[in-house]
Amino acid sequence: MSTDYGTDDPRSALKPKSSPKAASFPIRGCGYGRFFDQPAQVVEPDGARTWIIRGATAVVAITEVREGTVLARQDNPDEYMLLLDYDGAATCSAGPEDSIAAGPTSVTIVPPGPSSITFHKPGYAVRCFTSRAEDLAALAQNASAYGDGAPECAPLVDWPAPPGGFRLRSYDLLAYERVTFAHIIRSTNLMLSTPLRSSARRSPQAVSPHHHDDFEQVSIALEGSWVHHLRTPWTSNMTAWRADEHTVFASPSALIIPAGMIHTSQDVGPEDCWLIDLFSPPREDFSRQPGWVLNAADYPAPWEADA
């Protein structure tokens, strides 16, 4: 991982990682989910629309839910996450006896197996899965882009199971003081990193271009407009060079940023902006920073479980 974080950015303390394996593969193109002007992949009986995009190891489904919308999974193979917007309210159920209320600006971790989510207010709901949810991965608008299995990315390996076993767990992001640049929640297989929405604009003198050696980043815009700045590093093969991109995204949208691609984002326009980053599996570098992961006590890291 190369970084160009400012000295006042907490991420400047992260140690670079070298991955010769990833460097031996060409950098793939981004996945562009401009859901605000694209047809949905799934339309529920009540008219709720779901847009789906995938990466090497993650799948994102953003649904414009209605009051009473129910989203169910019959037998999901592993955990998934639900993020509700600032007005969201839902009841999550997993099995006959596990039920929990999810409120505004919450992240709920749903255990493997059957589950259902009943929404009580209209708005946007983000569900984050791994690529093991093969039915959803196949529905993604960019499903064909990963027919090669993404050999440049590290494989999806689960982290230790939570003490006490799998069950519904919900976290109200507004209940936590921000200890770093974002609120970070992890499960055995996913990590969400989200600053809260803001009307303050990022300074052009304080952006953070960087890349990830062997994993992808999914940047999900739920509010506002964003410019994603993207650069494919040059190699000795000039035929693989690409022009820099400075791509404008409204909300809702999702961008799949490939391993090796230099990237940074700017919030633009007068409205509040809210951008969420998804990683699968959880990031070790973030997890090794004391206090960064808000629910670390519920989900031990591999080196903690082995201690």
**pTM of the predicted structure, to 2 decimals:** 0.92
Structural domain contains residue 255: yes
Q: Which residues constitute the domain of residue 39?
A: 10-294
pLDDT by residue (tens digit) across 99-114?
Answer: 999 999 999 999 999 9
3-class DSSP assignment, residue 212: coil
The backbone torsions φ and ψ at residue 134, rounded to the nearest 5 degrees and listed phi first, read: -65, -30
CATH classification of the domain holding 187: 2.60.120.10
Structural domain contains residue 306: no
pLDDT by residue (tens digit) across 248-292?
Answer: 999 999 999 999 999 999 999 889 999 999 999 999 999 999 999
**pLDDT for the residue 7:** 55
Measured over the CA atoms of residue 85, residue 90, residue 96 and residue 98, the dihedral's sign is positive
**pLDDT for the residue 50:** 98
Structural domain contains residue 220: yes
**pLDDT for the residue 127:** 98
Structural domain contains residue 41: yes
Bigger pLDDT: 19 vs 167:
167
Structural domain contains residue 1: no
Structural domain contains residue 67: yes
Model confidence band, residue 206 (pLDDT cutoffs 50, 70, 90): confident
**pLDDT for the residue 1:** 47
- 142-148, long-range: CB within 8 Å, 24+ apart, which pairs? 142/31, 142/33, 142/53, 142/54, 142/256, 143/54, 145/28, 145/29, 145/31, 146/54, 146/55, 146/56
pLDDT by residue (tens digit) across 19-65?
Answer: 545 557 889 999 999 999 999 999 999 999 999 999 999 999 999 99
**pLDDT for the residue 16:** 57
Query: What is the C-alpha separation between 74 and 136, in angstroms, rounded?
Result: 12
Question: CB of 49 within 8 A of CB of 64?
Answer: yes
Structural domain contains residue 47: yes
Structural domain contains residue 37: yes
Number of domains in the chain: 1
Measured over the CA atoms of residue 218, residue 219, residue 223 and residue 227, the dihedral's sign is negative
